Amino acid sequence: MPQGLLHHIEIYVSDLEQTVEFWGWFLEELGYTSFQEWESGHSWKLSDTYIVFVQAEDRFQDPPYHRCRVGLNHLAFHASSRQQVDELTNKLKEREVNILYLDKHPFAGGNDYYAVYFEDPDRIKVELVASE
C-alpha cells in the first residue's frame, strides 16, 4: 500500500438515517459500495478507502456542525467528467439538495474549475469536481 494514501474518513452525524439516505446514492454514483453497517453507523468503500458515518450521541450535538469552525471544511470528490458533474447536479436538484454558489455554477472555483458544491443534511459542504 502506498504510504500516505487515505485509509478512511469517519464523520459523526446528527441523524444517521437521513445521512445514509443522502450519502448512499451519491457515493454509489461515484463507484462506492456499501461496506459495513451496524446500529449506529454505515460505511461505503471504493478500492482501499472507505467513508464512515456514525450517529453522534445527543450530548455531543450542541452546538451543531458548522464548516467555518475548527475542523472539517468540506469533502471534495473527483468526477469522471464535466458530464458527470452536470448529471449529478441535476440529480441533486431533483432531490432538492442545497446547491451552493448557484450564481457562479459550475465555475464557482474559478474559470477552469468545473464543479458542483452542495451540502449534506448536517450542512457539511461537498464538492464534485471534474479534473479535465
Reported as a single tens digit per residue, the pLDDT across 103-113 is: 999 999 888 89
Where along the chain do its domains lie?
6-55, 72-132
The CATH architecture of the domain made up of 6-55 is: Roll (3.10)
Nearest to 23 by CA among 41, 38, 6, 5: 41
- 63 upstream amide cis, omega within 30 of 0: yes
Domain 72-132 has CATH 3.10.180.10: yes
| Residue 4: per-residue pLDDT | 86
| Residue 43: per-residue pLDDT | 98
Cell of 126: 461537498
Which pLDDT tens digit goes with each residue over 31-51?
Answer: 999 999 999 999 999 999 999
Cell of 57: 450521541
Q: Helices 16-29 and 82-94 meet at what angle, rounded to 10?
A: 150
